[in-house]
Amino acid sequence: MGPLRRVYGGGGRPVVTLLLLVACALAPVADAAPRPPSRSWPLLPPAGPGDRILVVAPHVDDEAIAAAGFLADALRRQAQVSVVYMTAGDNNRTSAKILEFTLGPSKADLLKIGQRRIREARTAMARLGVPADRLYLLGYPDRGLQPMLEHPDELLRSPGTGRTTIPYPEALSPGAEHRLANLQADLRRVLDQVRPTLVLLPVDFDTHPDHGASGRIVLPLLRELAETPRVLGYLVHARDFPRPFLPSVRSPLLPPPQLAGRPWVVFPLSPAQEELKGRVLTAYRSQRADPYLLLLTNAFIRRNELFLPLEP
């Protein structure tokens, strides 16, 4: 999950941040369930031993926000789980300000944030049970996926680190230029290695540009595979989502009202799976240093996870 359009900003941000934290601390979260939905959605069947699941995460932590419970259940049932991180999430300036004790984070500071988030991903996925060799870091620019998609022939300079090539030694193609063709080539390598039967990726109407672009970049590549996998979309960023915007473990995760007419499916979580999801998310400490993102990630620990079946 990259830096979002803030609901607070400017000179009043500290005050609003404090109010958000106070509301989070004082709200009766266990009873903060939204009104019952006007309709119910079908249940997503669990994965099985023959499934090879690939999660496409625009930023480090999106895989856990959207699907940690489903993935934990899949691993318990002997399914194979892999994660591909499109970016290292190295353009979160708010986290960099807090963690680096600066009002103006430098390109080096943002690169350190990316390196830190890569380490956090390993910790988080180890808690979930995903082996380290099933994590694929691509390392393209945070906040750069949509520009790469819109200008496929251009070399993109990262808006965070200022680099024009992938700066992370852990990446699949360290030193590769920030070009759409290179990103597509890396994704094809991952798809060839994983041979997924099920792909989880962001829906193209997610309001974060990296999320919407990720789905539009990956879906055409799935059509090239000899065996087309099933595809489930997930939503992280949308107006009025999630509701309530607070920790609310007894509440269901429902689609925002303006998107309720789509054919969603839900995957119910047991209390143990909810607790595990919370422990996985706490590994992303650099993101949770940002009060807004702390609220957002906690608000996704619910009685279920939400997915949208897609056609590749």
Peptide bond just before 131 cis, omega within 30 deg: no
- Taking alpha carbons only, the member of 299, 302, 308, 304 closest to residue 242 is 299
What number of other Cβ atoms are within 10 A of residue 112's Cβ? 18
Least confident interval from 17-26, 66-75, 138-147, 199-208: 17-26
Mean pLDDT confidence for 221-240: 96
253-259 long-range CB contacts below 8 Å, 24 or more apart? 253/300, 253/302, 253/303, 253/304, 253/305, 253/306, 254/34, 254/37, 254/306, 255/306, 259/205, 259/235
The answer to whether the CB of 252 falls within 8 A of the CB of 305 is: no
CA 31 to CA 305: how far, in whole Å? Answer: 19
Least confident interval from 211-225, 235-249, 269-283: 235-249
What number of other Cβ atoms are within 10 A of residue 5's Cβ? 9
CATH of domain 43-310: 3.40.50.10320
Question: What is the pLDDT, as a whole number, of residue 153?
Answer: 95
Question: What is the pLDDT, as a whole number, of residue 27?
Answer: 38
- Taking alpha carbons only, the member of 48, 69, 63, 54 closest to residue 117 is 63
Do the strands 304-310 and 230-234 form a parallel or antiparallel pair, or are they unpaired? antiparallel
What does each C-alpha distance from 145 to 149, 151, 289 come to in angstroms?
6, 10, 24
Mean pLDDT confidence for 242-266: 92
- Taking alpha carbons only, the member of 177, 209, 171 closest to residue 189 is 171
Adjacent-strand bridge partners of 234 = 202
Mean pLDDT confidence for 92-97: 86
Mean pLDDT, the chain, integer: 88
Question: What is the pLDDT, as a whole number, of residue 39?
Answer: 56
Residue 9: pLDDT above 90?
Answer: no
Q: Could you identify the residue written with the tokens 């009002």?
A: 103
Task: Quickly state the pLDDT bin for 36 (edges 50, 70, 90).
Answer: very low
Residue 135: pLDDT above 80?
Answer: yes
Residue 161: pLDDT above 70?
Answer: yes
215's tokens: 């789905």
Q: Which of helix, strand or coil describes residue 232?
A: strand
Please indicate, yes or no, whether the overall pTM of this predicted structure exceeds 0.85: yes
Residue 22: pLDDT above 50?
Answer: no
Residue 10: pLDDT above 80?
Answer: no
Q: Could you identify the residue written with the tokens 């830096």?
A: 3
76's tokens: 């318990």
Task: Quickly state the pLDDT bin for 230 (edges 50, 70, 90).
Answer: very high
Question: What is the pLDDT, as a whole number, of residue 218?
Answer: 98
